[in-house]
């Protein structure tokens, strides 16, 4: 059987060329790519800005979808206003991911995996909201950007009986590089993990056989630990099942 094709969303970043001529780049950490390759899939980078018909065609051809981390989700997407805490936002990325997510979730049975921003955009696509900034909402600081990305930052509580618990087993340590997080859950989603100190939602999934799961931390930076590589492995197992169906 051919290996599953896994679409991975890309970040959008603006860089200067020779100090001038700003250009928008599609960017993606190789950690996402390597996690999919190690699990037995073929990564396919999804460009921002495709028209809806092209995104539908791409959704037909791919076997699973990984929505990656990156820039902030524009608060306008979930009914709030941008304030001074919001970092870079790229409407072209929000538009691409929101349409693709809704289409894949509603019109296919293919697996979906979200990481950091990927969790947030999944929640927004299903009608949920975010805290624009956790510290302003009275939560602890989760944007530990000075920490090495492969170091653990804090612990989580994982709900028993969830898909996530079956994957992580006894592992409860995570890394943390976000200042936004879920406020109100989107339709059909359940929270499956929380930060220990301030009960920030750290993972969501959709009950059922289909792999629809997202985490607020960055497991792609932790794949040397078996528990975190299993998130990619289980995602690919489901992609293989869908491909074979």
CA distance 121 to 8: 14
Place of tokens 């998130």: 231
The length of the chain is 245
Residue 77 among the catalytic residues: no
Tell me the CB-side half-sphere exposure of residue 182, using CA atoms within 13 A. Answer: 35
Residue ranges of domains in the chain, CATH in brackets:
5-244 (3.40.50.880)
Catalytic-role residue among 97, 202, 205, 220 = 220
Report whether 201 contacts 120 (CB < 8 A): no
Q: Which listed residue (154, 218, 221, 234) is catalytic?
A: 218
Q: What is the pLDDT of residues 147-179, one digit of tens each?
A: 667 677 888 999 999 999 999 999 988 988 768
pLDDT top residue among 13 and 233: 233
Residue 40, both tokens: 């037995």
Q: Do residues 205 and 144 touch, judged by C-beta distance below 8 A? A: no
Determine whether 220 is an active site residue.
yes
| Catalytic site includes residue 116 | yes
Summarize pLDDT for 5-46 with one digit per residue, the tens. Answer: 999 999 887 776 666 667 778 899 999 999 999 999 999 999
Measured distance CA(63)–CA(104) in Å, rounded: 10
Tell me the per-residue pLDDT of 179-199, one tens digit each, with 9 for 90 and over: 889 999 999 999 999 998 888
Residue 139, pLDDT score: 64
CA 237 to chain centre: 18
Of the pLDDT bands very low, low, confident and very high (cuts 50, 70, 90), residue 88 is confident
C-alpha radius of gyration, the chain, whole number: 17
190: left (phi over 0), alpha (psi -120 to 50) or beta: beta
pLDDT in the model for residue 84 = 63
**Residue in 77, 116, 179, 202 annotated catalytic:** 116
């Amino acid at each position: 059987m051919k290996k599953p094709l896994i679409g991975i969303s890309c970040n959008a970043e603006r860089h200067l060329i020779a100090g001038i001529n700003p250009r928008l780049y599609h960017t993606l950490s190789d950690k996402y790519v390597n996690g999919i390759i190690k699990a037995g899939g073929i990564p396919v980078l999804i460009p921002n800005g495709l028209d809806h018909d092209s995104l539908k065609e791409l959704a037909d051809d791919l076997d699973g979808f990984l929505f990656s981390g990156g820039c902030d989700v524009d608060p306008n997407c979930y009914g709030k206003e941008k304030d001074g805490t919001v970092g870079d936002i790229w409407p072209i990325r929000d538009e691409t991911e929101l349409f693709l997510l809704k289409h894949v979730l509603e019109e296919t049975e293919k697996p979906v995996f979200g990481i950091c921003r990927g969790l947030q955009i999944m929640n927004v696509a299903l009608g949920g909201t975010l805290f624009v900034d956790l510290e302003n909402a009275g939560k602890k600081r989760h944007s530990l950007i000075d920490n090495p990305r492969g170091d653990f930052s804090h612990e989580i509580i994982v709900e028993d009986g969830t898909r996530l618990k079956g994957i992580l087993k006894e592992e409860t340590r995570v890394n943390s590089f976000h200042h936004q997080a879920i406020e109100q859950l989107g339709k059909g989603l359940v929270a499956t993990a929380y930060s220990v100190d301030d009960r920030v939602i750290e993972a969501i999934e959709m009950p059922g056989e289909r792999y629809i799961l997202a985490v607020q931390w960055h497991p792609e930076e932790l794949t040397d630990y078996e528990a975190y590589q299993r998130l990619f492995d289980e995602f690919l197992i489901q992609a293989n099942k869908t491909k074979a169906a």
